[in-house]
Chain A
Amino acid sequence: MNAPLIIDRRLKAVLRGLTGLVLLVVYVPLVLVVVNSFNVDRTFTWPPPSLTLHWWNVAAHSTGARHALLVSVEVALLATAIALVLGTSAGLALRRTRFFGRNVVSLLIILPIALPGIVTGIALNNAFRTMLGLELGFLTIVVAHATFCIVTVFNNVQARIQRLGPSLEQASADLGAGPFTTFRLVTFPMLRSALLAGGLLAFGLSFDEIVVTTFTAGPQEQTLPIWIFQNLFRPNQAPVVNVVAAVLVLISAVPIYLAQRLSGDVVSGGAAGAH
């Protein structure tokens, strides 16, 4: 499919160097975090005088960290679930029907991901407290996260539907399947990998969100990013934060890897007739 580009040898070397540099800048600090989680010294002197598993042990028994992790996972799961339902419906509605203002609606759905988190945070904080009279807490975080999680699902679904074209669904109807059966047997299976990819991205977005969360979480609820932020500058907790950060690096690699694999799995044959 992709023919290799023919590139000048010198240009190739330069590009290679640049790529290496970018990767170094990104990953050396991350490696540093992981190494420091084994550092005996509390102030993270470099190189580490000696290595220890002590901080890992402390972290494992830190109730604050464990509770925050649980909250984060729950929030991310719920926000992703909401995003999957609403994002899929919106994607289907906008690609399968034509109505006045369709593009505006599409823009409005995508916008929250581009809005600065601080704006979304303040706006939601205001609306929740003053307009709706809600107490900030677990639910308000979920709703706030869902507003931007929808975008990743919506985008994936929309792109997939557009690529598939209407003919598979028409074929299903033509063969006697009603709209619901068509969705169950054709549309949904064709969307499945797009939903997974969109859902994993949504989960990732929610899991490490801090700005919007700060404004929509109540005083009792702490997500993991907030817990980290609050403990980072306490001398006793700093090594534990390193451990948690190291764990997060490893955990977040998984959904991204999966999402990448899944969105790459091409559903061919639907639109392409000639092969």
Chain B
Amino acid sequence: MHAVEDLDVEIADGEFFSMLGPSGSGKTTVLRMLAGFERPTRGSILLGDHDATGLPPHRRDVNTVFQDYAIFPHMDVLTNVEYGLRVKRVDRRQRRRRAEEALAAVRLEGYGRRRPTQHSGGQRQRVALARALVNRPKVLLLDEPLGALDLKLRREMQLELKQIQRDVGITFVFVTHDQEEALSMSDRVAVFREGRVEQVATPVELYERPASSFVAGFVGTSNRIGGRAAQQLLGTAGEYAVRPERLRIVPAGASVAPGELTMPGKVREVVYLGPAAHAIVELNGGSTLTVSRPNTGGASEPPLEASDRLVAVALHRDSLIELSGGTEKTEEKP
């Protein structure tokens, strides 16, 4: 039993690459192997053209932003940031200048003489980032660095991280369990599940063409139609996923556009989310679908409410995503 099974991924220079997966899926183990804290039982890790597999952490040209930031509490911010240069014996003047630059890059100018304990979570996160970036590593590893921040700050830092990454042009390998975070920041995302990579793709591909039912369920929300339900509703065998925003609720028996098909059912529940509302529709036959309706403010649409009135869910055939690995059980996220 391995924490991570065979893994073959090539990450491009300057790429923002995310490893996404639920906890225990092996993504952090891969990150720690890249950093040198764990050793793969077989295979190798190439950094550029160099084999880095057996190198201890302090000999690797990669740096890490730790989940708990691991900022040295007995040093002030500037001393923290220049630590990497200090142990590499860069002379004092130069390392001070580069540390100041790194602090400026993360928008912490003038914070150098403060103690890290005086800082908020967001600032500590920036200090950790500056401390890693100052070494100009080939690759920067980030282990759920935004996990400890509150939601609003996290959104801000997502944007900022992306921007910093573009500015410095360093390859970022980013570990997260937050699919939205992975989608919004990355050039490519690897989806992990139980020590295996399910799919490596751009955010668009991941969302539009998930390779497995697990990816379809983990990245974004999706309805799964498979087995008997597929036969019944779609008239074909196989496993399909469809995004809630691709479904419409129409009056029962309404005529629809060519290529669209309708499935009769009843609205069982409505979840108001602000920008959209989700309706849980129970189809005749027992299965349920989540339908998302954007909040456009239009008065023309009938109000959504749970009732025993028969309605229909309309779906264009092109919106169906055919899944491989159909036997796997997936939780649908409402």
Any A CB within 8 A of the CB of B298: no
Do the beta carbons of B121 and A171 come within 8 Å of each other?
A: no
Q: Which residues of A have CB within 8 Å of B57? A: 170, 173-174
Residues on B with beta carbons closer than 8 Å to the beta carbon of A172: 72, 83, 87
In the complex the two chains form, is A168's CB within 8 Å of B87's CB?
A: no
Q: Is the CB of A167 within 8 A of B68?
A: yes
Query: Residue B121 contacts which of A174, A181, A185, A274 (CB distance < 8 angstroms)?
Result: A274
B69 interface residue per 8 A CB criterion: yes
Residues of A near B62 (CB, < 8 A) are 174
* Given A173-B56, A175-B84, A273-B121, A189 contacting B74 (CB threshold 8 A): yes
- B residues 62-101 touching A (CB-CB < 8 Å): 62-64, 66-74, 83-84, 86-88
A186 at the interface (CB under 8 A from B): yes
How far is A267 from B116 in the complex, measured between Cα atoms in Å? Answer: 12
- State which residues 170-221 of A face B: CB under 8 Å: 170-178, 181, 185-186, 189-190
Is A235 positioned at the interface, with any CB of B under 8 Å from its CB?
no
B73 near A176 (CB under 8 angstroms)?
Answer: no
A10 is an interface residue with CB less than 8 A from chain B: no
Could you tell me if B148 and A273 are in contact, using CB atoms closer than 8 angstroms? Answer: yes
Q: Mark B289-303, 1 if CB is under 8 A from A, else 0.
A: 000000000000000
Q: Within 8 Å of chain B (Cβ to Cβ): is A268?
A: yes
A13 to B183, CA, bound (A): 62
| A40 shortest CB reach to chain B, Å | 55
A-B contact pairs, 27 of them (CB 8 A): A165-B68, A167-B66, A168-B70, A170-B37, A170-B57, A170-B64, A170-B66, A172-B83, A172-B87, A174-B57, A174-B64, A175-B58, A175-B84, A176-B88, A176-B135, A185-B83, A185-B87, A190-B73, A267-B74, A268-B117, A269-B117, A270-B70, A273-B67, A273-B69, A273-B124, A274-B148, A275-B117
Interface residues of B (CB under 8 A from A): 35-37, 56-59, 62-64, 66-74, 83-84, 86-88, 116-117, 120-121, 124, 131-132, 135, 148
Chain A contacts to B: CB under 8 angstroms: 165, 167-168, 170-178, 181, 185-186, 189-190, 267-275
